[in-house]
Structure 1
Amino acid sequence: MKTGDTLTLDAPEITRTVLALYAGASGDHNPVHIDSDACREVGIPDVFAHGMLSMAYLGRLLTDWVPQRRIRSYEVRFSAITPVHAKPRCTGTVSRVEDGLAHLDLTISLPDGTVTLVGSAVVLAN
């Protein structure tokens, strides 16, 4: 691991089925994620992905790279919604390695350049 190393993960398309399955698995049945009619009633054009689903994809990016036991911290901030039919791309970049720890900058972006999530992680480098 060295400064500048990058990781990418192309998450699957956010379909209505994905949202329904995630709602069932997570217990988060907020209508804005699964009910188009409820969205339109409050002025939202359509359903959008759960923020924690996006966070899970970034978690997968990390655990595809290092075993979970090497992750020391992981945090995110949601910056935009992920609409249905989006194809998120997860990216991690090692910003520095010191004292045996790799520090990463994390993002999820959409094909149009919208950044939906930013975060950071620290992993044991060895």
Structure 2
Amino acid sequence: MDLPVKTYRITRADLVRYAGASGDFNPIHWSDRFATKVGLPGVIAHGMFTMALVGRAVAEWAGAPDAVLEYSVRFTRPVVVPDTDEGTEIEVRATVREATDDRTVLSLAASCQGEKVLSQARAVVRGALAG
């Protein structure tokens, strides 16, 4: 069973707020000049910020943050965030792989501009999910 797709917008302002909260002020997250100098296509979102947005989707599907029992991902490609008011969006998808009354195992996918940004993403949540 596939769960409803969740979409999250990411702007440069979000990156600034995340940098302040996390303490990660690496210029690849705010300077196009620096990001391209080191071989990136432009400013990229913090990987942990991307992971947090996908975790947010899992918590929403599960009904509460404390219902998430396990969560893991591998990063496949960076999320490039243009210097526009619109920024970019990531789409998060989940498929129920296994379900019992006690727990549900989700296979997760996240993409940006049609490109997969996470792989081997998986979560285990408490209880059964109601479609």
> Please, what TM-score do these two structures have when normalized by structure 1?
0.86
Q: Give, in whole Å, the separation in 1 of the partners of 2:123 and 2:12.
A: 29
Secondary structure of 1:88's counterpart equals: strand
Q: Do the aligned partners of 1:7 and 1:61 also contact (CA within 8 Å) in 2?
A: no
Q: Write out the 4+ residue segments of structure 1 that deviate beyond 3 Å after TM superposition.
A: none
The CA deviation at 1:40 is: 2.8
Matching residue of 2:28: 32
Runs of at least 5 residues in structure 2 that lack an aligned partner in the other structure: 82-86
The CA deviation at 1:32 is: 0.8
Same amino acid, percent of matched pairs: 36
Q: Give, in whole Å, the separation in 1 of the partners of 2:15 and 2:8.
A: 13
Secondary structure of 1:89's counterpart equals: strand
Matching residue of 2:94: 92
Q: Give, in whole Å, the separation in 2 of the partners of 1:91 and 1:5.
A: 8
Q: Do the aligned partners of 1:34 and 1:47 also contact (CA within 8 Å) in 2?
A: yes
